[in-house]
Amino acid sequence: LAANNMNNQGFSDGRGRGFRGGGGGLVAPKQGGFNFAYENNKIELGGNVRANHRDTDSKNWSSSETFMPQIGRNQFSNSRSTSFGRNSSFNADLRLEWKPDTMTNIIFSPSVSYSTSDNWSQSASATFNSDPFDIIETYGKSSYGDVYEALDSIAINSNRSESMSNNENFSTGGNLQVNRRLQKPGRNITFSASYSYSNSESKSFSTNNVKYYQAAAGSSGYDRKRYSTTPSTNWNYNLRLSYTEPLMKNLFLQLNYSFSNSYNDSDRSTYIFDALTDDVMSLNHNYLLPGLPLDYEQYLSDSLSRYSTYRTQRHDVQVMFRYVTDKMNLNAGVTWIPQNTEMSYRYLGLDTVLSRRVNNVTPNLRFRYRWSKQTTLNIMYRGSTSQPSMTDLLPITDNSNPLNITMGNPGLKPTFNNSLNVNFQDFKVETLRNLSANVGFNNTLNSIVNKITYDEATGGRISQPTNLDGIWSNWSTNAGFTYNTALPNQKFKVTSSTNARYNYQEGYVRTVTEAGFPLAATRSVNLSERLSGSFQNDWFEVTMQGYLNYSRARNSLQPTANRDTYNFSYGPSTNINLPWWNLKLSSDISMNSRRGYSDPDFNTDELIWNAQISKSFLAQNAATVSVQMFDILRQQSNVSRVINATMRSDTWYNTVNSYFMV
């Protein structure tokens, strides 16, 4: 059993900063379950039963900037949102392993789950043609009326929205694996089968009130009231056969074949109440969902309702060579993946049936060399082909949301991704020295991005997926080095961890008055260093550590949007063990600082202090009572930044920072 209000999603006693696992928002999970096991000479049987409930209260505020060099200024957006949700689920799984003889192994593992959720959210956002923070700083502590009048003069649009939803899902699945070792050493055959089935239904009601500030007369905005129901059914099964044949000493040939068949059906019905006033809807609301008229069925929209069915058959044919010695392990092979997909689709007046046959090729290589148990080198390469979604290939324009219009592109081509990683590790037992180094590279050919067209008058945008040309249009590389060692007396330890990453990404952006799409490129560099030194004896330990993260972003079309941000922290921590009193004391304090963010409120210095005291008692110290205090000075906040070829965004979110626990 477990329950907490610290965003800790797992079973934990609350020690450490467990709440960090939940991300943004205040999350209060409650969990319960049990497991069982049985074993004899031939059978192993085990299983788990779990029940979960989670309540979520989330708030966030974001400030974003879209790079618009074509019109000589950028576009700025601010938003605030609040949401509440609750989720309940039940899961059960079983694992049965049977060994009828020394050469055969059979494993069967079924599972079942059921979940429900309810969510409500409310948000307000506005788009501006210049930075609203400049207005706020200029007017300072002037009257609210002056500030709002000045903000209205630069505003493009505002949007207030509210939504509520309910979701219910049932799913089941299972796996069967049969492995048989044959007479020749190294020769074996494996058969496996898996299946899954899910049935779900979601209901949602939403309202939007959009106001335009710069648009022509007669286009002041719009009100939207929509209700949707979406039942969906998904099932698939997979059959796989694997055979390993020793070719010679240390060399093996592995052949794998699998076949999968899947079915996905979704039928979304959309009802439109835009013409109804709030007074009419409040007088005739459905008690099951406030705001929904009793006679809502007559407001069904055939054009905005969506029906889709996918049927996919896929074959995986893999040839793999394995070379194994005491020091070296090499796996190299290629997988050929022919796939056939059929789609039935009805939306926005388009009723179509599409069929697509593709052949994907995936090469892969894994190499490991061990000089000793403590020194290893690993190299891994994988190439993979990805097809564009079939809905992106449809020649339709979805303008159901005028602020975010999407278009299909029948000319999309598949993408190919290359991923290479090299890792070296070396550990010396005598000196407790550990060294680790890694290098990685990733690039995507024919990478798919959205061409974005902005409307200066409304602040809306039109996006259409397209392929980028060239090998170097979307790529990244990274490197890391970690070193820690004890000094000769082994009471002092030093640790250093250095990481670097470079990312290059292209994109397209323009205004509605432009004919072509200028190509924008963002180059970003991220460097980080973590350094610590510690002293430890039988009853006392003290550590001094520091951390620095530097991010640099440069945009080819908008130099004024270039940013350099710094996150750094430093401070000591200590642990004191007083065995004669069975008492333990620990504390850490650090100064966390941020610099370079566009919103001055994000450039902060936060002194974070945590402490804990615990005492053990009873025979053999069988019981312990602890008092833990986190963020005692109540200074920690939560800010994140995202930047790409066309925009940057800074976000603040609520979470549990300061609390104490007994």
pLDDT digits (tens, 9 = 90+) for 133-191: 777 677 666 666 677 778 888 889 999 999 999 999 999 999 999 999 988 888 999 99
CB of 315 within 8 A of CB of 339? yes
d(CA 615, CA 581): 8
Per DSSP bridges, beta strands 375-386 and 540-555 are: unpaired
pLDDT tens profile 551-584: 998 877 666 667 788 999 999 999 999 988 889 9
Q: Is the pLDDT confidence value at 217 over 80?
A: no
CB of 171 within 8 A of CB of 112? yes
Q: Which two tokens mark 45?
A: 């049987």
Q: What is the mean pLDDT of residues 487-494?
A: 86
Q: What is the mean pLDDT of residues 345-364?
A: 91
d(CA 94, CA 231): 28
Q: Return the pLDDT at 18.
A: 36
d(CA 147, CA 153): 10
pLDDT tens profile 602-657: 788 999 999 999 999 999 889 999 999 999 998 887 777 676 656 778 788 887 77
Q: Return the pLDDT at 14.
A: 38
CB of 93 within 8 A of CB of 107? no
CB of 108 within 8 A of CB of 175? yes
Under DSSP, is residue 300 helix (H, G, I), strand (E, B) or coil? strand
d(CA 592, CA 560): 27
pLDDT tens profile 115-143: 999 999 999 999 998 888 777 677 666 66
* Claim: this prediction has a pTM higher than 0.85: no
Q: Which amino acid is at 654?
A: N
Which residue has 């409040």 as its token pair? Answer: 282
Closest CA to 584 of 576, 593, 592: 576
Q: 219 has which bridge partners?
A: none
Percentage of the chain modeled with pLDDT above 90? 59
